[in-house]
Amino acid sequence: MKVLIVEDEHKVVDYLRSGLTEQGWVVDIAMDGEEGTHLAIEYDYDVIVLDVMLPRRDGFAVLKALRLQKSTPVIMLTARDHINDRVRGLREGADDYLTKPFSFLELVERLHALARRTRAQESTLISVGDLYVDLIGRRATRDGVRLDLTAKEFQLLSVLARRHGDILSKTAITELVWEVDFESHTNVVETAIKRLRAKLDGPFRTKLLHTVRGMGYVLEVREPRDMREPREDARPS
Ligand code: CA
């Protein structure tokens, strides 16, 4: 079992690391929210322990970024007197919470329960038309043919697939795929989209990745009458 602990208090980190390692868990540590987001998205964990109060990016922001891409079970650590944190955490996609201070045995119990629950579900296969994106196996196919994607291209496709039907702006894509805000380099997104599109749509008649001028990109199956860009039948809002 592999666990990621996102926590900045050295005492708690040391205590959890030694205790869980002793129990046979493989433990990764992130000491701030940015590193936590990066590790949580980039690597596959059976479960993540996420503190709310973190430097650089708080636990809620980490959870939000993670949930756009992955359904890794998350147990949040909240302060005893902050009941709103628990409610908010659960609403935003946490699977469980523990209030500090907590007993080690109780945490281990909860971690096992969460890891078991996801293993039973594994609903991480997204389909859009004849496209299948397997988020756990990290592979994508169209019409049964595997797409030969780089890690970044797969991540970009995952972001679009998880939110298929929604228009994602370049800024949103930048934050979700590169986890940084480099507004002045939006051509990075354009270049990545162009490469992905060549592999995803190039050999196929039905195009799935569409540019919505002035707004961003959307992954969806369009009826033939919707193929014009931008959509002229869209009502002004
Ligand atoms: Ca903390």
Give residue 35 CA to ligand 1 midpoint distance, Å: 14
Asked whether the beta carbons of 43 and 70 are under 8 A apart, the reply is no
Give residue 200 CA to ligand 1 midpoint distance, Å: 42
Mean pLDDT, rounded, of the chain: 85
List all residues 6 or more positions away from 234 whose beta carbon is below 8 Å from its beta carbon. none
Residue 101: closest CA among 217, 11, 218, 198? 11
Give residue 2 CA to ligand 1 midpoint distance, Å: 21
Instruction: Domain ranges for the chain, please list them.
Output: 2-119, 125-226
- Which residues lie at CB < 5 A from ion ligand 1? 8, 51, 53
Percent of the chain with pLDDT over 70: 88
Asked whether the predicted pLDDT for residue 123 surpasses 60, the reply is: no
Give residue 225 CA to ligand 1 midpoint distance, Å: 52
Q: Which class in CATH covers the domain with range 2-119?
A: alpha beta
Q: How far apart are CA 154 and CA 150, in angstroms?
A: 6
Give residue 79 CA to ligand 1 midpoint distance, Å: 9
Give residue 119 CA to ligand 1 midpoint distance, Å: 29
Q: What is the mean pLDDT of residues 120-127?
A: 68
Element (H, E) at 188: helix 187-200
Give residue 9 CA to ligand 1 midpoint distance, Å: 6
Q: What is the mean pLDDT of residues 48-60?
A: 95
Read off φ and ψ for residue 22, nearest 5 degrees.
Answer: -60, -35
Asked whether the predicted pLDDT for residue 74 surpasses 90, the reply is: yes
Confidence of residue 237 (pLDDT cuts 50, 70, 90): very low
pTM (2 d.p.): 0.53
Give residue 15 CA to ligand 1 midpoint distance, Å: 14
In this structure, the strands spanning 209-212 and 216-219 are: antiparallel
Where does 31-154 show beta strands of DSSP type E?
A: 47-51, 74-79, 96-100, 125-128, 131-134, 139-142, 145-146
Give residue 51 CA to ligand 1 midpoint distance, Å: 6
pLDDT of amino acid 115? 81
What order do you get walking across the sheet with 74-79 strand by strand?
26-30, 2-6, 47-51, 74-79, 96-100
Give residue 160 CA to ligand 1 midpoint distance, Å: 32
Give residue 7 CA to ligand 1 midpoint distance, Å: 5
Give residue 8 CA to ligand 1 midpoint distance, Å: 5
pLDDT of amino acid 119? 60
Per-residue pLDDT of 83-107, as tens digits, reads: 777 777 777 888 888 988 888 888 9
List all residues 6 or more positions away from 146 whose beta carbon is below 8 Å from its beta carbon. 139, 140
pLDDT of amino acid 185? 61
Tell the CATH topology of 125-226.
Arc Repressor Mutant, subunit A (1.10.10)
Asked whether the predicted pLDDT for residue 130 surpasses 50, the reply is: yes
Write the Ramachandran bin of 179: left for phi over 0, alpha for psi from -120 to 50, otherwise beta.
Answer: left
